[in-house]
Amino acid sequence: MEDFAYYLDKLGEIGFVEQVFHSLVYASGLPHVHPNEVVIFESGEIGLVMSMTKNYVEILLLSEAKIRAGTQVARTGELLKLSIGEGILGRSLDPLGRCLTNPSPLKKVESRAIDVGPASIMAREQVKDPLETGVALVDLVVPLGKGQRELIIGDRKTGKTQFLLQTIMSQAKRGIICIYAVIGQRHFDFKKLEEFFATKGISKNTVIVATSSSDPSGLIFLTPYSAITIAEYFRDKGADVLLVMDDMTTHAAYYREISLLARRFPGRSSYPGDIFYVHSKIMERAGKFKKGSITALPVATTVLGDLSGYLQTNLMAMTDGHIFFDIDLYNRGRRPAVNPFLSVTRVGHAAQTPLQRDISRELTSFLVVHERMGQYMHFGAEVSENVRKILVLGEKIISFFNQPADSIMTANLNAILLAGLWAGVWKDAEVDVMKREMEQITLSYGVDEAFRTKLDKTLSTFDKFSDLVTYLKQNDEILLGKISRQK
Amino acid sequence: MYSEILSRVKTSEEKEQLQDEIEALKVSLYERGAVFEDMLKTRVRAWASQQIRKDLEGGEIDKEKYLTVLIEKLKEAKCVKLSIAFEPTQVAIDKFYTFITGEIGENVVLDITCQPKIMGGAIIIYEGKYRNFSLRRVFEEESKTFNEFILKILAR
C-alpha cells in the first residue's frame, strides 16, 4: 500500500476528521468516497468506510492509533484487500495480512478483496466426500462431508476447541489445508494454538488468522472475512480447505459494539438488524465447489446450554447442522461431550459409504433406546435380561466413544471396533480391559500394514452393519489375533 | 440586505469574529434598557455596526429575525482552504477573494494558512477536493528528471 501523499495526489480528495468515537471516526469531505472503501489518514493508519451521510463519512478504524479531530484523511479508491501468496502456510497473520510471527516476504503475491459475494450455484456441487474428524462419536453419529458448514456449539469449557484441534490434526495429516480464525481471544490462546500445530508437525498445512481482545474492534470484526478469503485462495487452486471460525458469538459481540457506537437501531439482544446478513454472507462463501471445497466449522458459545439464543439459532439456520457439546455430559466425564441426540448433520450422511450409513442408523437408534432405558432405571425398576444387556452394551459403547484429546480414530477402525463390540468380542470383558484391548487393535492398525489392509478389505465387502457383525461373530480371530488376553 | 455585510467577510477569522459579535448582539436583545445600542457601540466593529443600523433603520424589520438569519448565512458560508508560502497582506487576500468568488460564487470565506515549505504557488481544498499547485510539487516532479541528469554529470 502506498502512503497518504500518493493517494491524495492520485485521487485529489481530502477529508478532515470531525469526531472520534472509540473505533469510529466521522470525517467531512471525501465527496466521491463509497462504502467499504479503504481510507488512509495522514499518520498512515487505515480505516474502512462504513456509511455516508450528507455531511459526514463514517469510518471504522483498523488500528489502535489515536486519531484526533482535524486529522486529514484521503481516499484510496480501493476495497480492503489481503495479500496472499506462496509461503503463507505455517504463518500466523492478522486480518490485514501482516505476519504476526514470520515477517519474511511471500512469493507470487496476489491481492484479494476480503468482502466479496459468495460463489454462484453453478460453481457448486453436492457434498459427496466424507470429512473425517478423527473423533469416533462424531464420525459415526454426526458425520461431516467436505464442503459442509457445521456449527460447533456449546457452553464454555466443554471441549469444543479440543474437538476442533482433533479435526484439524486429522485433516492436516491428510494434506488438507486448515485455517483457524481466532476471533478476539486472548493472545495466550493463539500462542497455544501455534505451539500445538508446531508440536504435532502440522504447521505446514495450517494458517492462523488471529486477533486478540486487545485489538481494535474493527480489526476483530474483519477476522472471519480474511480467513475465508485465504480459504478461497486455496480453494481456487483446487485444494480442499477446512476453516474454523472460533468464535462467531464473539464476532457478533464486536459487531454489536461497532453498530451501537454508530447509533444503528438495536434489535433483539441489542444486535443490529443485519447480523444475520453479516454471518450468512460469510457462511455462504463456504461449500463444495466444482474446484475444491471449503468446509466451515463456525463456533458458537451458549450460556447454560441454551440452544434457543438469538445468535445460536441464527447460526443453526445458516449451517448444515450442528454438533452440540453438552455441559452435563462434560460434567459426567464424557469426552468428547457431544450430545448425539441434539446434534444434527444435514448433508454428512450423503458423504458416507452404505456401511457407514447403516452403522450410523443402527447406532443412533440404539443410543436412543439405551438413553430411554437409562431413564427408566432411575425409577429403580427391576430389569429383564434383555434390558440389562442393552444397558451393559450401551455403557461399553459410551466408554468406546470416550476418546483422549490427542488421539485420532479412522472411520474404518471405528466401524470394525464397533462391529466387534456388537458381535460380542468384549461381551464378558470389563470396560477397562475392553479399552486396553481396543488400544492394542488401534496400535496394530496403525503400525501393521497387512492387518490394516485386511480390515479395510473386509469392510469394503459389506454394505450392511448386521452382515459385518455376523461375519465378526464367526471370525472373531481377526480382532482377537491382535489382542494378548490373560487366561 | 445581507450581502453588504457578507461581502466584507473574506477570511474564516473574520467570519468567526463577526459571528461572535452578532451572537452577543442577539443576546443583548433580551436585556433591559438600551443594551442593544450599547453593544452596537462597544462590542461590534464600526463598519459592521454601521451596516446593521442601516439595515434596521425604520424599525420595520424584526431585529431578532435579522440577526438569526445573518448568523445562519455566516454559518452557511463555504470554506476554501488555501495554503500559500507567505504571510498574505490585505491586498493579497482581496485578490485571492476576488478570484475565488469569481470562480465559485458568493458566500465564500478563505481559510488561509502559511506553509513556507511549499515554496510558492498554492494548495487549494474546497468541498473535499484537493489540488496541489505548489512550486514544491513542480520541483518534486521535475527532480525525477533532474536527478538522473545530475547523476549523469557526476558520473563523468
* Cα distances (Å, whole numbers) of residue A283 to A131, A150, A432, B90: 18, 10, 43, 64
Q: CB of B8 within 8 Å of any CB in chain A?
A: no
The answer to whether residue A487 is domain-embedded is no
Average pLDDT in chain B: 91
DSSP per position, A202-227: -GGGEEEEEEETTS-HHHHHHHHHHH
Question: Does A276 share its domain with A316?
Answer: yes
Distance (Å) from the alpha carbon of A15 to chain B's nearest alpha carbon? 6
Q: Is A134 left (phi over 0), alpha (psi -120 to 50) or beta?
A: left
Q: What is the pLDDT of residue A486?
A: 61
Contact with chain B for residue A72, Cβ under 8 A: no
Predicted pLDDT at B60: 81
Domain shared by A121 and A250, yes or no: yes
Q: State which of A295, A325, A351 marks the end of a domain.
A: A351
Section A441-463 average pLDDT: 92
Assigned C-alpha cell, A131: 470429512
Cβ contacts of A369-372, under 8 Å, gap ≥ 24: A370/A394, A370/A397, A371/A341
Q: Are residues A26 and A115 in the same domain?
A: no
Catalytic sites of A, residue numbers = 346
Whether residue A14 and residue B130 make contact (CB cut-off 8 A), yes or no, is: yes
> What does DSSP say about strands A151-154 and A321-325: parallel, antiparallel, or unpaired?
parallel
What's the pLDDT at A406?
86
Cα dihedral A409, A411, A415, A421, rounded to 10, equals: 10
Determine if the peptide bond prior to A247 is cis (ω within 30°).
Answer: yes
Whether A332 is covered by a domain: the verdict is yes
* A486 within some domain: no
Which residue in A4, A14, A17 has the most chain B C-beta atoms within 10 A of its own C-beta, making it the best mutation to test that interface?
A14
Condensed to tens digits (0 to 9), the pLDDT of residues B12-50 reads 999 999 999 999 999 999 888 888 889 989 989 999 999
**Interval A316-363: pLDDT, tens:** 999 999 999 999 999 999 999 999 999 999 999 999 999 999 999 999
- The grid cell for A81 is 484487500
Single pTM value for the model = 0.90
- A interface test, pick of B81, B82, B113, B130 with most A CB neighbours within 10 Å: B130
- The answer to whether position A485 is within a domain reads no
Q: Are A12 and B130 inside 8 Å of each other by CB?
A: yes
In 10 A of CB B127, how many CB atoms? 13
Please state the ipTM of this predicted complex: 0.82
Nearest to B54 by CA among B38, B46, B15, B65: B46
Statement to judge: residues A20 and A161 lie in one domain: no
CATH number at residue A213: 3.40.50.300
Count how many residues are written for chain B. Answer: 156
Residue ending a domain, among A79, A98, A115, is A79
Q: Which of A32, A62, A79 is the last residue of a domain?
A: A79
A128 in the same domain as A101 = yes
Does an H or E element contain A245, and which?
Answer: strand A240-246
pLDDT of residue B115: 94
- Do residues A65 and A86 both lie within one domain? no
Q: Do B129 and A28 touch (CB under 8 A)?
A: no
Q: Which of A95-104, B51-60, B112-121 has the highest mean pLDDT?
A: B112-121
Which pLDDT score, from 0 to 100, does residue B141 have? Answer: 86
Q: Which residue has the cell 463509497?
A: A34
User: Which set of grid coordinates corresponds to residue A401?
Assistant: 466413544
Nearest-CA distance from B126 to chain A in Å? Answer: 9
Is residue A317 one of the residues assigned to a domain? yes
Task: Render pLDDT for A234-275 as a digit per residue (tens, 0 to 9).
Answer: 999 999 999 999 999 999 999 999 999 999 999 999 999 999
Q: Provide the H-helix boundaries in chain B.
A: 3-6, 12-28, 35-42, 46-56, 63-76, 90-104, 135-155
Q: Do B128 and A8 touch (CB under 8 A)?
A: no
A373-385: pLDDT as tens digits = 888 777 766 778 8
Instruction: Kindly state whether A13 is in contact with chain B, defined as any CB-CB distance less than 8 angstroms.
Output: yes
What's the confidence (pLDDT) of residue B61?
Answer: 86
Contact A52, A40 (CB under 8 A): no
What pLDDT, in 10s, does the model give residues A138-150?
Answer: 999 999 999 999 9
A424 touching chain B per CB within 8 A: no
pLDDT of res. A487? 55
Does B75 touch chain A if contact means CB atoms closer than 8 Å?
A: no
The grid coordinates of residue B103 equal 470562480
Distance (Å) from the C-alpha of residue B91 to the closest C-alpha of chain A?
Answer: 29
CATH label of the domain that carries residue A408: 1.20.150
Report the residue from A8, A9, A31 with minimal CB separation from B127.
Answer: A31
Q: Are A86 and A171 contained in the same domain?
A: yes
Residue A71 and residue A117 share a domain: no
Q: How far is CA A295 from the centre of its chain?
A: 8
How many domains in chain A? 3
Q: Is B93 on the interface with A (CB under 8 A)?
A: no
Residue A285, number of CB atoms within 10 A of its CB:
23
- For residue B124, give the nearest of B103, B107, B143 by alpha carbon: B103
Tens of pLDDT, residue by residue over A278-303, are 999 999 999 999 999 999 999 999 99
Residue A196 CB contacts under 8 Å (≥ 6 apart), including other chains: A165
Q: Domain residues of chain B, as ranges?
A: 3-76, 78-151
pLDDT digits (tens, 9 = 90+) for A12-63: 999 999 999 889 999 999 999 999 999 999 999 999 999 999 999 999 999 8
Q: In chain B, which residue's Cα lies nearest the Cα of A31? A: B128
Q: What is the DSSP letter of B87?
A: P
Nearest CA distance, A12 vs chain B (angstrom) = 5
Residues A110 and A63: their CA atoms lie apart, in Å, by 23
CB A18 within 8 A of CB A56: yes
Instruction: With H, G, I as helix, E, B as strand and everything else as coil, classify residue A295.
Output: strand
Find the closest chain B residue to A8 by CA distance. Answer: B130
Does B132 contact A14 at a Cβ distance shorter than 8 Å? Answer: no
Say whether both A262 and A347 belong to one domain.
Answer: yes
- Cell numbers placing A72: 486529514
Residue A450 binned pLDDT confidence (cut-offs 50, 70, 90): very high
* Domain of residue A12, residue span: 4-79
Which residue from A414, A419, A422, A465 is spatially nearest to A134, judged by alpha carbons? A414
Instruction: Assess contact for B11 and B87: CB atoms under 8 A.
Output: no
Eight-class DSSP state of A335: S
User: pLDDT averaged over chain A?
Assistant: 93
pLDDT number for residue A117: 94
Question: How far is Cα B111 from Cα A430, in angstroms, rounded to an integer?
Answer: 89
Instruction: Reduce the DSSP state of residue A456 to 3 states and report it.
Output: helix
